[in-house]
Structure formats: C-alpha cells, structure tokens
Amino acid sequence: MYSIINLALFALLIALLAKQQKSDQTLSKRVFTGLGLGVLFGGALQLIYGGGSAVISETLEYVNIVGAGYVSLLKMIIMPLIMVSIIGAIIKVKDSGSLGKISGLTIGILLATTAVSAVIGLFVSHLFGLSAEGIVQGAREIARGAALETRLTSVESISFADMVISFFPGNPFADLAGSRATSTIAVVIFSAFIGVAGLNVIRTQPELGASFEKFVQVAQEVVRTLVRMVLSLTPYGVLALMTKVVAGSNVDDILSLLNFVVASYVGLALILVMHLLLVSFVGVNPIRFLKKVLPVLTFAFTSRSSAGTIPLNIDAQVKQLGNGEGVSNFSASFGATMGQNGCAGLYPAMLAVMIAPTVGINPMDISFILTLVAIVTISSFGIAGVGGGATFAALIVLSALDMPVALAGLLISIEPLIDMGRTAINVSGAMTAGTVTSRLLGQADETIFQQDGDAETAKA
C-alpha cells in the first residue's frame, strides 16, 4: 500500500515536469527542477521509512524503470550518432589530414589532465591525512575485497599493447552493438575510415560521391531528430535517477567515511578549476563555459555513466559551446573510454596514497609519486565509461604498484556517492578537451558560444 502511494506521488512529479515542458520552459530549468524534485522526494522517502526499508526498495524498483530506461535510450543513440556525425564532419571538412591533429591533440589533453588529476589526488589525500589503516571491514567490505582479488587475475593478463589493439574494430558490427568496453573508440575509428573512403569516392567519382553525400545528410538529420526526441526526456530521467541515489543511500555509512567523501569532492573541485583555467587560456570565458555545460554535468552526476552522457556531451559542444562537429564527436567518444580525470586519475591515486603506508611505502617519496603518476596516466586507456570504471582503473594501478587490491573494497558503502562526482568530472574533462582542441585548430564558432539560452535540440 505504501509503495503504491509513493509511486502515485512520483507520477505526480512526472506530471509536474510534463506541465513545465508544455509551458515552453528551457531544458536547463527542467533538468534542475527534476534534480531538485528528485532530491526532495528521495530525502522524504529516507526520512519517512528509514534507510534500507523494504518499502523504499520496492518503490525504487519501479522508479528505476524511468531512470534506467532513459539511460538505455541514451545508449541506444550513441553509436548511430557518433557514426553519422564523424562521417558527416569528415566529408564537410574534406580534409582527412585534420583527423590526426584532432585525435592527437584531444588524446594529449585528456592524458595530460589525467596526470595532473593524479597529482591532485595525491595532494588532497595527504592534506586530509587519509589512510586505509583503521577503517573497519564489515561483511560487505570483506566480500568486495575478495571479489576484487578474483577480478585481478583477468586484469593482470591485459597488457598496454592489448589495450591499444582493442581499439581497432576487428568486427565493426559487434562494436556497433557495444560488445566491448572499447567499442566506442572502435566505432570512431571505423567511422573515420568510412569518411576518408567517402572523400576518395567524392574526388574520383563525383556523381556517386554526390549520392553518398546526400545519403549522409539524410542519415544525419534522422539521427539528430532521434537525439532531440530522447534529450527531451532528460528531466524525467534525472528525477528518477536522483530519487534512487538519495533514497538508496545509507547515511551512517557516509558519515563513517565522511573524511574520504569530503577529500574526494575537494579534489574533484580542484580538477574542475583546472578545466576552467584551461579553457580560459584559449580565450573562453570560464563562467559562461560552466553555465553552458552544467546541465550535461548534472545528468552525468545523476546517471554515473560517461558513455550514457555522450549524446548530451556532443549536442552541448556543438550547439552551446560552438565546437566543431568532428572535434566534439572525437572528444566525447575518447573522453568516455580514456583519460577520465575523476575515475582514472583522481580515484586510483587517492587509493594508492591511502594504502601505501600499510605496506611500508612513504607516499610522499618523489620516486613513488613519479611512478604513481606515470602508471595512472598509462592505465587510463580503455576505462569503461559506465559505473565501475574507476574500480577497473584502481585494480590496474594497485596491482602495478604491488599493493593489496582487496583494500579497495573498504569504500564500497560510499562508492555510488563519490562516483557521481567522478563521472561529472570525467565528462567535464572531455568537454574541456573538445573546447581547447576546437579553439587551437580554429574550428570553433564564437557566435554560438556567445548566444544565451538552450540549444535548439534542448527545447524539443
């Protein structure tokens, strides 16, 4: 009975958002309304029923239909969007040589910011005096540690060369279905090859080339319409996802590890400042930049999925920041699977600094710091852009440093809370890389960046 009442209230909140949409409110306002309502509703469920209540679990099971369903719809349009956008961008630019510059600069920025993020992780861990010593291991933590040790066997068998090889699309149809963690990068490479091949056809056989260009234009318009349809559902997805996060959190667990939570968010805030400084160096107003990317970061925060945020990322880069389509697609795609500042940069470094004293290592030793930063940067290749990518990155880093990976399970109780911030910073890093690359290569439209309000698709 209580669950039915809760779901009826949730339905009323959805109706409120639908009414707001009909009143022609901008997407940004609707997204933040959904965020606020989700926090309030989730908090009310916690207050009334208490953490871990069966009523909350049953309610969230149905609320999650909206949240998980929306994330699935976003994932549905990732591959088609990347493919047609990259092919269209290459044909439009008609310069295959620029692909190397775009990809090289984008990847370079992602890896450089990840290295700095590792240094920030080391700094905040030392500042807050974080240590794995003294953290109580309950049944969940012990079970998590055992699972990580089991998973380590498969991780240790993956070399850096294997990671690079996994980027190549041996079976593009399987990658279009998202069968691997690196499928997104593989689709980017496959699409680039098709775009370059299309350019050759246009040059050598103009009549056939014209037909191919027309086909790509039609495909782009169909996919863009699909994107507009899905993005219009964002406020409802944010409402459901935020309700689940707040109602499903355990306040006692959070308080027991509050020091790590605070340190994590201080580190994430410093990384965001680094991003704003980077865009300001290429002539972009950091405050305006932050205002324009905030709705995208909000969704990344609630969904905990860098990959699921790719469509919003690309859309905002092109129609809010004025970045070139090719650069936007490359940076959003690469940023979801490598060089993640939060998951692959900050988090593994913080864990390593916490665990180091337990195995007799001075975390402030310069040789340890240099080794840690190097390993973190290299291991940031091929990190899956979904919840759990940070754990994979931590396993690689800790095993490379000969540290006990089981201790990473100590933080399982607060993992969702810190993963929200990490994901938002991952996406911020990708958008920063796209913005800096666009400005440096002269592929940015300053007129679009200076415009106020939501992008065209945001009002769908």
Q: How far apart are CA 21 and CA 23, in angstroms?
A: 5
The more confident residue out of 181 and 79 is: 79
Residue 309 has what pLDDT?
A: 86
Sign of dihedral through CA atoms 21, 26, 32, 35?
positive
Residue 138 has what pLDDT?
A: 45
Winning range, highest mean pLDDT, from 17-21, 159-163, 285-289: 285-289
Identify the domain containing residue 153 by its residue range: 2-459
Total of domains in the chain: 1
pLDDT class of 458 with cuts at 50, 70, 90: very low
Q: How far apart are CA 60 and CA 54, in angstroms?
A: 10
**DSSP structure string for 303-328:** H--TTTTHHHHHHHHHHTS---HHHH
Residue 402 has what pLDDT?
A: 78
| pLDDT one-digit tens code per residue, 195-214 | 889 989 998 999 999 999 99
pLDDT class of 177 with cuts at 50, 70, 90: confident
Residue 167 has what pLDDT?
A: 80
Residue 334 has what pLDDT?
A: 84
Asked if residue 95 has pLDDT above 70, the reply is no
User: Which segment of 221-230, 327-336, 413-422 scores lowest on mean pLDDT?
Assistant: 413-422
The more confident residue out of 97 and 146 is: 97
Q: How far apart are CA 319 and CA 238, in angstroms?
A: 21
The more confident residue out of 255 and 347 is: 347
Taking all residues of the chain, what is their mean pLDDT, rounded to a whole number?
83
User: Which segment of 121-130, 170-179, 249-258, 343-352 scores lowest on mean pLDDT?
Assistant: 249-258
Q: How far apart are CA 39 and CA 247, in angstroms?
A: 8
Asked if residue 270 has pLDDT above 90, the reply is yes
Inter-residue contact 246 to 403 (CB < 8 Å) = no
Q: How far apart are CA 408 and CA 167, in angstroms?
A: 28
Residue 431 has what pLDDT?
A: 96
Residue 411 has what pLDDT?
A: 67
Asked if residue 325 has pLDDT above 80, the reply is yes
pLDDT class of 132 with cuts at 50, 70, 90: confident
Asked if residue 136 has pLDDT above 50, the reply is no
Residue 62 has what pLDDT?
A: 93
Average pLDDT over residues 46-74: 88
0.85 exceeded by the pTM? no
Residue 413 has what pLDDT?
A: 62
Asked if residue 119 has pLDDT above 90, the reply is yes
Residue 382 has what pLDDT?
A: 60
Residue 143 has what pLDDT?
A: 47
| pLDDT one-digit tens code per residue, 7-48 | 999 999 999 999 888 887 777 788 889 989 998 999 899 888
Average pLDDT over residues 105-109: 92
- Report the percentage of the chain scoring pLDDT > 70: 85
Residue 343 has what pLDDT?
A: 86
- Which of 337, 349, 373 lies closest to 267, judged by CA? 349
- Which of 330, 86, 87 lies closest to 212, judged by CA? 87
Residue with tokens 């913005």: 435
Asked if residue 416 has pLDDT above 80, the reply is no
